[in-house]
Amino acid sequence: MRRRVAGLAMMILLLVFSVSFGGLGVVDTSLRLTPPSGTMPFGTDTLGRSLLERVAAGTGTSLFIGGIVAIASFALGILLALCCFIPGFPRRVAFIFADAVKAVPSIVLALFSASLSGPGILSLAVSLSLAHIADIFRTSYSRASAIMKEPYIDAARCAGVGRMRIFITHVLPPLLPYAAMQSVSSFLSAVIGEATLSFLGCGVPVPIPSLGSILSEARSVILSSPWMMFFPASFLLLLGIAINLIAFSLSDPDPASERT
Amino acid sequence: MDSIWKRLLRLLLTMLIVSLAVFSFISFSSGDSSSSVLSEDASEEAVEAYRKAMGLDEPFAVRYLSFLSSFFSGNWGVASDGQDISFLVLSRIPATLSITILALLMSLAIALSLAFLSLRRHTIGRALTTAWAAVMMSSPVFLIAIALVLLLSFQLDLFPVAGYVPLSGGFVRSIRSVFLPSLSLALLHSSLIMLMMRAAVESNLSASYSMVARAFGKGFSRIAAIDASKPALPLLAILSGQSAAAFIGGSAAVETLFAIPGIGSLLVTAALRRDAALAGTLVMLIALSVSCISMAAEAVSALLDPRRER
Amino acid sequence: MRNKVLTAVLAAMVAAILLVSCGGDEDSGLLRVAVAQEPVSLDVMITSSVSGRNIAVGNVYERLFEMDGDTIRPVLATGYELSSSGCDLRIGIRSGVSFHDGTLLDPEDAAASLNRWLRSYKGASSITGDASFSVEGDGIVISSTSSLAMLPVMLASSPQAAVIYPGEAIASAADGMPVVDAPGTGPYRVEEWISGSSILLSAFDGYWGDKPSIDRISYEFVPDPVIRRLGLESGQYDFIDNVLSDDIPALEKVPGIELHQGDENGSIVLVFNKKEGISTDVFFRRAVSLLIDREELMRACYGSYGYSVRSAYMDGKDGIWSVNPDLDPYGMENREEGLALLQDSYDGTTVRILSSNLTDLDRIAVALSSELEQCGINTELIILDWASFMEQRGNPSSWDIYVSATGSVPLPLEKGYLFSDSPGGFDDPSSSSIIRALSTSESMEEAASLWQIAQIRLWEYVPVIVPGHYSTVYASRSISGIDLSDGFHFRDAVML
């Protein structure tokens, strides 16, 4: 519990940081790549923009992308899993689609969604969430179907309890912690995935910063201007620690209470 | 468990859907391969001739179906730059295989040794390994890779900075050329494997049968090493399968950085060049190998744990 | 238990030592070059990638002529003759030249190659029109209704290189597709092309000219500039291309490493959309030209080295095409004048700036957007990957200015943006007629003076803005005799 609070506190601090200091930064190439100083606490980037502003804004972007992916994968993953119990729902088809979606490389999805709606953070987040929705869908379904086989479910049905109530009171509660943990790890994986997409040239649209795109820009000047990589990497690490604290707290229930 | 035929059918369907998805995503993304192959100032005539030669002016259904038929007939056609797709793809497989196998071995070695070394709660060692895992999971792979290059290649001169040497160029030289890329991937994945294996072994340790073993006088480390880990082996098999699957198609970043000609970077190139046939071929192969690996992992997992329901 | 652990550790150490000590066998006579990009194809006749040209032209494939400073030197040709009217060109073809597959070069190969080149290269066909080459005796001829005096220069230096392949290779290639694995006549042959990894060239024994001193060259594709630099410093590579300006100060201090700067090989160009939208108004274009700080734009991409700020369109500060930049009325930043012009011509619409994210051009777009915003112009940045960029560029209703780079070209009429069928359009009859006259000039001197007039006129019409020109910086270990006139070539180089 303590860990969860610490993790959430860190995330809120990061959010506050990003809102207070975040900005696109003013371009002034005569100041490009200056080391940290009084006026520029984090130094400047390759275009002379304040790295403090960019890293703060980038933290916000990463929080946003991670948040969308986490919420979408959690909500839609569980929803799809529960839908599989509605008679007439094409369950097998859904499985095959889920497997297929996971096999589509993220760069293909990112390029396609950028073509559809123009490059944008939201379309990027949507394309990143598909694979995670599929993941949570599959694991939630397997847990849910294990639960549905329990005798008390039959008992409830015989007693005339409606399907919806069964889902809400019996099936949903045990699903939530595990799905929550998975969606928390997909938060981080989406932020890092966006960093890799930026590395390959298909990440968040310029000039909006994300921690990943700043890192990617910083790659070529790491030897001459290491601060440009140090600050975004540190904040990415802080974000990762916050996420891991929350994830650990969710996944560490007393093993003895786990029903196998 | 489903019968083998049902699984094969599902595999085939998955491959078809993936290839359809990728082929259509790339075909309907803006732009086509003419912009990458031809000069920026190429004449309209040249662009049209190229499009015609590549069949880009034909309707989508025709292109997809002819792609499918050439894939399954083994004659994989020609990529956007005129090279033979089968030659391109097959030439990239050895590098990807080397990296996948080496990265998997490294992941297991690192993860398992760290997991066992840090079993004791509330020690500095445990805190350090947990912190290390958190750092690894929060770093994009290219960051880890650059750190490794600076340290091991540049400062200490132990490995080449980039480039791939195939096995034909000497076993040791070949391993050295893929060492750093594999290590980058391994450091990343081993963190997750370590955390999950440690949690599994710990939950087994506190289970009642372990207490019985302790009552019989076996020392702490022997129990941990032998008894508590056996039930966790199925989990290890699954995790190994997942990591291997990730290495096969998802190592584009390390391949680009270290200039290794693997499947991952070829896929990225195909996507950026809008080469639907090449990308479609690659994803089908990747989906096929990932499914095979998953099936193998599940089989090994079942073998290792007779308690598992079939 | 402890013994087991100990043996394991010892075994690991022994393995590590073995791993590290083996290998590192340097191959003498092999030059290792790290290049940033793998060429899409070595068919340099239809692709204009610099990477392909550096590797193939002059090494694997040869042109009929080459530029030697300002003079045209025959390579596979023996010379050329222009008729007195200038409308007929005859080129003698050298005999005794073998292709890498052993077959001999004959005029049929030359004619087939050049005709393919003409079909796919707009710059050349704008000189020749519908004419094509045919064989006559031991040479080839081409006749046109207008002067072909500009053609030899183009044959010697066009970015889509007029190299010679065997006629059979051209006939067997599908129309429109790149030719794969065509044998060439050059001093090196392609020994191996490992896709995604490297291209290995080895000296061709049957070469008609002087054998090069370096036996084998390996061009390795290393996209990451940091890795290239580390590879050079650690001795893994002998030569690297595209040194980042931020690395130059550090590399200068390393003993044994030499930096080289090539000739100007291109310019940054901001192309206005003269077909639709706000950029169709010449006053708006002039306003933008007066409002931007060109140094800022170039610095955004190139840092402190490797470029010169100059608004002339042609590369080469003191070359035959150079025009005094003081004659550009809108070539220097002049805020007041610019803002005054802007007041009349700008109505507040969003100016859409389009760029691709290739080779840091997007940084220039960001800097441009920032400059314009500071002057009160609303901008929208559209940065796309290359394929999407090319598609969007072809749709005039979706952009107002695009940022790109054009490579160095032998003749001004090869600058694509000067033609009405270019993505930005072009509609200035007076400069068009001068440029057309240029293509049918009867001598280089006449062409150069025509260009002086055209450039001044173009500076008034402002179809594009050229902030500056760039020249690639390279770094190497001890190699002498590198030819840096058109990219980099090692034919006359010697490893020390």
What is the mean pLDDT of the segment spanning B30-52? 82
B185 interface with A at CB cutoff 8 Å: no
- Smallest CA–CA separation between B205 and chain A, in Å? 10
Instruction: Produce one character per residue of B139-149: b if its CB has 16 or more CB atoms within 10 Å, e if not.
Output: bbbbbbbbbbb
List the single residue in B43, B170, B274 with the smallest CB-CB distance to C120: B43
Amino acid at B181: P
The pLDDT mean for chain A works out to: 84
C272 three-class SS: strand
Query: Is residue B43 pLDDT above 80, yes or no?
Result: no
Per-residue model confidence (pLDDT) at position C2: 53
Residue A45 resides in a domain:
no
Task: Give the tens place of pLDDT for each residue, B244-255.
Answer: 888 887 788 889
Residue B178 resides in a domain:
yes
- Residue range C27-58+186-262+473-495 in CATH 3.40.190.10: yes
Angle at C408 between CA C404 and CA C411, to 5 degrees: 115
Kindly determine whether residue C300 and residue A33, on different chains, have CB atoms separated by under 8 Å: no
What is the mean pLDDT of the segment spanning C470-489? 89
Residues of B in contact with C390 (CB under 8 A): 31, 35, 40
Instruction: Give me the CATH code for the C65-172 domain, please.
Output: 3.90.76.10
Token pair 């070529």 is found at: A220
Query: Is residue A27 pLDDT above 90, yes or no?
Result: no
The first and second tokens of residue A111, run together, are 């390029």
Task: Give the tens place of pLDDT for each residue, C36-87.
Answer: 988 988 999 988 888 999 999 999 999 999 988 778 999 999 999 998 888 8
Q: Could you tell me the pLDDT band of residue C6, with boundaries at 50, 70 and 90?
A: low
What is the mean pLDDT of the segment spanning A106-130? 86
- DSSP label at B212? H
What is the mean pLDDT of the segment spanning C430-443? 86
Q: Which long-range contacts (CB under 8 A, 24 or more apart) does B61-70 make?
A: B63/B23, B63/B27, B63/B276, B64/B20, B64/B23, B64/B24, B64/B27, B67/B19, B67/B23, B67/B276, B67/B277, B67/B280, B67/B281, B68/B16, B68/B19, B70/B277
Q: Could you tell me the pLDDT band of residue C124, with boundaries at 50, 70 and 90?
A: confident
Query: Is residue A254 pLDDT above 50, yes or no?
Result: no
Per-residue model confidence (pLDDT) at position A260: 36
Q: Count of CB atoms within 10 A of residue C82's CB?
A: 17
Per-residue model confidence (pLDDT) at position A206: 83
Q: What's A139's domain CATH number?
A: 1.10.3720.10
- Selected residue with higher pLDDT from B301 and C163: C163
| Superfamily covering domain C266-470 | Dipeptide-binding Protein; Domain 3 (3.10.105.10)
Query: Is residue C388 pLDDT above 60, yes or no?
Result: yes
Per-residue model confidence (pLDDT) at position A108: 86
Kindly determine whether residue C229 and residue A223, on different chains, have CB atoms separated by under 8 Å: yes
Task: Give the tens place of pLDDT for each residue, B155-189.
Answer: 777 888 888 888 887 888 889 899 999 999 999 88
Residue A202 resides in a domain:
yes
Chains linked to C by 3 or more Cβ pairs within 8 Å: A, B
Residue B143 resides in a domain:
yes
- DSSP label at C63? B
Q: Count of CB atoms within 10 A of residue B109's CB?
A: 13
Per-residue model confidence (pLDDT) at position C470: 92
Kindly determine whether residue A26 and residue C370, on different chains, have CB atoms separated by under 8 Å: yes
Which residues lie below 8 Å from residue C183, measured CB to CB, with a gap of 6+? C99, C100, C101, C103, C165, C166, C169, C189
Residues of C in contact with B258 (CB under 8 A): 227
Could you tell me how far CA C458 lies from the centroid of its own chain?
23
C413 three-class SS: helix
Per-residue model confidence (pLDDT) at position B308: 52
- How many domains, in total, are found in chain A? 1
Kindly determine whether residue A196 and residue B141, on different chains, have CB atoms separated by under 8 Å: yes
Which residue of chain C has the CA closest to A116?
C388
Q: Could you tell me the pLDDT band of residue B39, with boundaries at 50, 70 and 90?
A: confident
Q: What's B303's domain CATH number?
A: 1.10.3720.10
The pLDDT mean for chain B works out to: 83
Which residue of chain A has the CA closest to B24?
A112
- Residue to substitute from A54, A116, A223, A227, interface C, most C β-carbons within 10 A: A223
Instruction: Produce one character per residue of C434-464: b if its CB has 16 or more CB atoms within 10 Å, e if not.
Output: bbebbbbbbebebbbebbeebbebbbebbbb
Per-residue model confidence (pLDDT) at position A257: 34
Task: Give the tens place of pLDDT for each residue, C8-29.
Answer: 666 666 666 555 544 444 456 8
What is the mean pLDDT of the segment spanning A201-219? 87
In chain C, domain spans: 27-58+186-262+473-495, 65-172, 266-470
What is the mean pLDDT of the segment spanning C142-161? 89
Torsion of CA C46, C47, C48, C52, to 10 degrees: -120
**Owning domain of residue B97:** 90-276+288-309
Task: Give the tens place of pLDDT for each residue, B247-298.
Answer: 887 788 889 888 899 998 899 889 888 999 999 999 999 888 888 888 888 8
Query: Largest Cα–Cα distance in chain C?
Result: 97
Query: Is residue B196 pLDDT above 50, yes or no?
Result: yes
Share of chain C above pLDDT 70, in %: 94
Query: Is residue B130 pLDDT above 60, yes or no?
Result: yes
Kindly determine whether residue A100 and residue B17, on different chains, have CB atoms separated by under 8 Å: yes
Which of A172-176, B46-50, C202-206 shows the lowest per-residue confidence on average (mean pLDDT)? A172-176
- Smallest CA–CA separation between B77 and chain A, in Å? 21
The first and second tokens of residue A162, run together, are 């409606």
- How many domains, in total, are found in chain B? 1
Alpha carbons B119 and B210: distance in angstroms, whole number: 15
- Tell me what ipTM this predicted complex has: 0.84
Strand partners, C258: C476
- Selected residue with higher pLDDT from A255 and B41: B41
Query: Is residue B121 pLDDT above 60, yes or no?
Result: yes
3-state SS of B7-64 is HHHHHHHHHHHHHHHHHHHHHHCCCCCHHHHCCCCCCHHHHHHHHHHHCCCCCHHHHH
